[in-house]
Structure 1
Amino acid sequence: MAKILNVSNLRKTYRSGSRDLTVLDGISFDIEAGETFSIVGPSGSGKTTLLGLCAGLDHIDEGNIELCGTKLNQLNEDQLALLRNQKVGFIFQDFQLLPTLTALENVSVPLELQGNPNAGQVAKNLLEKVGLGDRYDHYPSQLSGGEQQRVALARAFSTTPDILFADEPTGNLDEETGEKVIQLLFELNKEMGTTLVIVTHDLDLAQLTQRIIRLKGGKIISNQTKTLA
């Protein structure tokens, strides 16, 4: 199976006042295409920083990341943006929908940026799949948190990304709503054959994925592969 993400000896340091704070220290792992993968660890362990680096949202200090066959440290900002637009999907804890656009428009935007002539119809189909076929014209402020995250799910899958990064996708949702969103996430992921990388503090959610790495103090303390029923 081809590797879609390869992380090698990754190190990330931030300046904090008069001293350097090492957030990630010697991180190495790889992910196969189509795999479901979770990154867990306590607050401050470097989970979100690691996701941002893997997705090309932040710059590497030391080490290498190869995403979809491309070494990220060899790309400029425009090239990184193009790679993300063509290959990568995102789901964030705080939804990050555009408040001035309807649900349908929020899902259509990434498709329009790719020049897809059927953007509107694809967006409608995805909103129907996540149970929001009657919410096309609603703005984010008119939707509940769970509904907003379902719009975000539809948007993330709209461009059929090779890999999808989800950062605490249920962090702002109650338990019942979160479970419904996760069920939709895994259903869409299976249907589209996407590689799924989830950052979460929810160990029950992590157990749904094929592999789990645990971070502590910026280092990997375990890398577990499991057989899913």
Structure 2
Amino acid sequence: MAKILRVENLSKTYQNGNKKLVILDNINFDIEEGETFAIVGPSGSGKTTLLGLSAGLDRSDEGTVELCGENLSLLDEDGRAALRNSHVGFVFQNFQLIPTLTALENVAVPLELRGDSSAETEATALLEKVGLKYRMHHYPTQLSGGEQQRVALARAFCNKPRILFADEPTGNLDEATGQNVIDLLLTLNKDLGTTLVIVTHDMDLAQKTQRILKLRGGKVQELQIQE
């Protein structure tokens, strides 16, 4: 199996006045194409920072990240953005939908930006798949939190990403709604063969993945393989 993400000797620090804060310290792991992978740890352990570095949203101080066969440190900001647009999807805790666009328009936007003439057809099909066929012309403020996250899932999968990064995807949802979103996320992932990387504090969610990376204090505490 090809490695879609390879992280080697990754470190990240921030300067806070005279103090240097070590956020990540010598992180190493790799993920195979099609794998489901969770990154867990307490608040402040570096989970979201690691996701951002892995996806090329930020640069590390030391170490290398290879994403979809590209060494991110050799790409400028435009190059990293082009790689993300072609191969990467994102789901965030706060949905990040555009409030002035309908559900259908929110999902279609990434495809339209790529000049895809079938954007509306593809977006409609995905909204049907996430159970929002009859809500696609509603605006985000007219949708519940769970419905907004389902729109965000449809948008994340619309360009058929090779890898999807989900940052606390159930963090703003109640338990029942969150469980529905988890099931939907894993079903879409399986159907489309996408590699899935989830940052979460929810161990029930993490246990549904194939491997779990446990962070504490910016260091890898354990890399757990699921049965």
TM range (shorter): over 0.9
Report the counterpart of residue 181 of structure 2 in structure 1. Answer: 181
Q: Is the 8 A contact 1:86 1:114 kept in 2?
A: no
Same amino acid, percent of matched pairs: 69
d(CA) in 1 for partners of 2:18 and 2:94? Answer: 32
Report the counterpart of residue 196 of structure 1 in structure 2. Answer: 196
d(CA) in 2 for partners of 1:15 and 1:105? Answer: 41
1:84-95 matches, cutoff 5 A? 84-95=84-95
SS in 2 for 1:190: helix
d(CA) in 2 for partners of 1:150 and 1:142? Answer: 14
Q: CA deviation at 1:113?
A: 1.5
Report the counterpart of residue 67 of structure 1 in structure 2. Answer: 67
Q: Is the 8 A contact 1:52 1:58 kept in 2?
A: yes
d(CA) in 2 for partners of 1:114 and 1:221? Answer: 40
- The residue type equivalent to 1:206 in the other structure is A
SS in 2 for 1:160: coil
d(CA) in 2 for partners of 1:128 and 1:144? Answer: 17
1:42-121 matches, cutoff 5 A? 42-121=42-121
Q: CA deviation at 1:17?
A: 2.1
SS in 2 for 1:135: coil
d(CA) in 1 for partners of 2:43 and 2:31? Answer: 23
User: Which structure 2 segments of 5+ residues have no match?
Assistant: none
User: Which structure 1 segments of 5+ residues have no match?
Assistant: none
d(CA) in 1 for partners of 2:49 and 2:213? Answer: 14
d(CA) in 1 for partners of 2:115 and 2:70? Answer: 23
Q: CA deviation at 1:136?
A: 1.3
Report the counterpart of residue 32 of structure 2 in structure 1. Answer: 32
Q: Is the 8 A contact 1:35 1:196 kept in 2?
A: yes
1:31-62 per-position Cα deviation (integer Å, ceiling 9, x unaligned): 00000000000000000000000001111110
Report the counterpart of residue 153 of structure 2 in structure 1. Answer: 153
d(CA) in 2 for partners of 1:58 and 1:34? Answer: 24
Q: Is the 8 A contact 1:90 1:156 kept in 2?
A: yes
Report the counterpart of residue 209 of structure 2 in structure 1. Answer: 209
d(CA) in 2 for partners of 1:117 and 1:28? Answer: 41
- The residue type equivalent to 2:195 in the other structure is T
- The residue type equivalent to 2:15 in the other structure is R
- The residue type equivalent to 2:101 in the other structure is L
Q: Is the 8 A contact 1:39 1:47 kept in 2?
A: yes
1:160-205 per-position Cα deviation (integer Å, ceiling 9, x unaligned): 0000000000000000000000010000000000000000000010
d(CA) in 2 for partners of 1:173 and 1:17? Answer: 37
- The residue type equivalent to 1:111 in the other structure is L
- The residue type equivalent to 1:53 in the other structure is L
d(CA) in 2 for partners of 1:174 and 1:226? Answer: 26
SS in 2 for 1:21: strand
Q: So what's the TM-score if we normalise by structure 2?
A: 0.99
Report the counterpart of residue 12 of structure 1 in structure 2. Answer: 12
Report the counterpart of residue 164 of structure 1 in structure 2. Answer: 164
d(CA) in 2 for partners of 1:125 and 1:118? Answer: 11
d(CA) in 2 for partners of 1:40 and 1:226? Answer: 14
Q: Is the 8 A contact 1:11 1:63 kept in 2?
A: yes
Report the counterpart of residue 144 of structure 1 in structure 2. Answer: 144
Q: CA deviation at 1:124?
A: 0.2
